[in-house]
Structure 1
Amino acid sequence: MSIPNLNWLLLLLIGHFLADFLFQKDAWVAEKNEKHFAAPSLYIHVLLHAVFSGLIVFAFYAAQDAKAFLPSLGAAAVICISHLGIDLAKTYAQKNTLSFLLDQLLHLVVIVGLWMWITAQGGVVVELVKNANYTKWSLLFLAYFVLYMPTGILIGMLLQKWAPQNGQVGQTRDDAVTADSLKQAGKWIGYLERTLILTFVITNHISAVGFLFAAKSIFRFGELSNAEHVIKTEYVLLGTLYSYTCSLLVGFAVQRLL
């Protein structure tokens, strides 16, 4: 895959994100969700995507001294129809993280397909898929998965006897939250910290783990004003050390296997 061809993919992606986020008003989103296919803003938004993509494809063919009008018109039509269908379906879907990610994934699939068509990179992509190191990717997937729920449950069991509230076997260390805690926030903090630590280790940036630990510790200093806060702080610190230990051990094991 040559760098010039990759540049055109990047331009198509930039055009998509500009039209989908920077140039899309909040009022448009609200109108689409309320009126669905009857919302004028839906068609304005789709037309904007089509114009961006069409201009980029026109520039691609013009740079090759090839006829550019019909290919750019075809590209605009593909983006227009696909984006209209995806966005219209999204207006009927629940507004959550999954629907947002699925919406963006479908748009990106269309854009990559369009790029493969105009640059004739289909064969290169097929070769990349064939020659991918599936053992490596399977190992990475397993490592990250193990550090999420299985490790969270293990840490919850290890901390059970010190939990500030009555915890149950099988809970994560962050399920035993106090009334003033955000719901499941601790669990997701644990997921994110373990993700970052494993990523730092396998990319040979282990020194960044120290900055992560220091940043998290700073937030606990203000909670040492009374005995109850000391207990909570010690509980969270112990859970953090368990979390870091598991993440580092898994990271070192993956690094050795790779």
Structure 2
Amino acid sequence: MILFIKLLLAHLLGDFIWQPNSWVADKETKKHKSIYLYFHILLHGILAAILVWEIAFIPYAILIAISHGIIDLIKLNFQQNKTKRTWFIADQIAHILVLIAIVLLYQNKTINFIWFDNQFWILITGFLFITKPTSIFIKTIISIWSPESQDSNQDNSLANAGNYIGILERLFVFCFILTGHFEAIGFLLAAKSIFRFGDLKEAKDRKLTEYVLIGTLISFGVAITVGLIVQALLLQLL
């Protein structure tokens, strides 16, 4: 575990702390012709070797540097302005997976798929259910009450912001239940109510207020129900 933490620290230093914006801009413009791309690759190899500080790890540090360069080149050549966020996430996931593979390879270990036991499948199912599936479920239920004023205010809101807020709040509730912090759910609900109160008061639309309230209560209700079900199933496995 400590080896992975050291490599993760090296990655954070090389990719974020010690990589100037000028390097990033030059790489995006010149791609494989950018001298800063190779400085960046070299930096990752040096950081990994220094932080691990073992002679036997030097070939693995070189492997980290080379794989980092390949991943970055793929991102630089395929990303566009509209897809930068997607490629950034994919790029970081790929780097982390490489670090995990290097740790397993260096420590002469193999991935044990027994890690994915019954508890894992219960957790991942509950986690995924309260994201997009629940959003669609809630949207379908409350669509019959959709207020007219909602459409007129749409331009003043970030695209899909309500959907993402709902997913995040359900994930928070889910985690609070599994960790036994039920009081935090009340705090979260109160905080959302405070932020929403101003908008609803200005709108002076009772239908909109009721619409938002129904959606919020259903969202919290589903998250709490799923959290309790998952918690009960996990307890049965102990």
Q: Please, which of 124, 128, 136 is the counterpart of residue 141 of structure 1?
A: 124
Give the Cα–Cα distance (whole angstroms) in 2 for the partners of residues 21 and 159 of structure 1: 43
Q: Which structure dedicates a bigger proportion of its chain to helix?
A: 2
Q: What is the alpha-carbon distance in structure 1 between the residues aligned to residue 202 and residue 66 of structure 2?
A: 60
Amino acid at match of 1:100: F
- Residue 236 of structure 1 pairs with residue 203 of structure 2: no
Shift of 1:163: 1.2
Q: Which residue number in structure 2 is paired with residue 110 of structure 1? A: 98
Residues 159 and 12 of structure 1, relative CA distance in 2, 3 Å threshold: same
> What corresponds to 1:84 in structure 2?
69
1:179 is paired with a residue of what secondary structure?
helix
Which of these residues, 135, 139, 154, is aligned with residue 156 of structure 1?
Answer: 139
Is 1:14 matched with 2:2? no
Report the CA distance between 1:135 and its aligned residue. Answer: 1.8
TM-score using structure 2 length:
0.87
SS at match of 1:182: coil
Query: What residue identity is the alignment partner of 1:138?
Result: W
Structure 1 stretches (4+) deviating beyond 4 angstroms? none
**Within the alignment, does 1:52 sit opposite 2:52 as a pair?**
no
Which structure has more relative contact order (CA 8 Å, sep 6+)? It is 2
8 Å contact 2:130–2:223 — kept in the other structure?
Answer: yes
> CA 1:109–1:158 in 2, change beyond 3 Å: closer, same or farther?
closer
Change (3 A) 1:133 1:38: closer
Q: Structure 2 vs 1, CA of residues 109 and 194 (structure 1 numbering), >3 Å: closer, same or farther?
A: same
Pair 1:179-2:155 in alignment: yes
Are the equivalent residues in 1 in contact too, given 2:57–2:106 (CA < 8 A)?
no
Q: Which runs of structure 2 are paired with 1:88-103 in the superposition (5 Å)?
A: 88-94=73-79, 95-103=83-91
**Structure 2 residue aligned with 1:227:** 204
Query: Match for 2:37 among 42, 60, 67?
Result: 42
Residues 226 and 82 of structure 1: CA distance in aligned 2, closer, same or farther (over 3 Å): closer
TM-score, normalization: structure 1?
A: 0.81
CA contact (8 A) 2:173 2:223 kept: yes
Q: Secondary structure at the match of 1:96?
A: helix
Contact 1:36 1:92 in 2 (8 A): yes
Task: Pick closer, same or farther for the CA change 1:178–1:251 going to 2, 3 Å.
Answer: same
Please report the RMSD computed on the Cα atoms of aligned residues, expressed in angstroms: 2.2
> Residue in 2 aligned with 1:74?
59
Cα offset, 1:45, TM superposition:
0.8
Alignment partners' CA distance in 2, 1:41 and 1:198: 43
Cα offset, 1:181, TM superposition: 1.6
Structure 1 unaligned blocks of 5 or more: 1-5, 62-67, 168-174
Quote how far apart the aligned CAs of 1:239 are: 0.7
Letter in 1 for 2:227: G
1:143 is displaced (CA, Å) by 1.4
Q: Tell me if structure 1 keeps the 8 A contact 2:170–2:220.
A: yes
Aligned length: 230
Return the letter of the residue paired with 1:242. I
Q: Please, which moves more after superposition, 38-47 or 143-152?
A: 143-152
Unaligned 5+ runs, structure 2: none
Identity %: 36
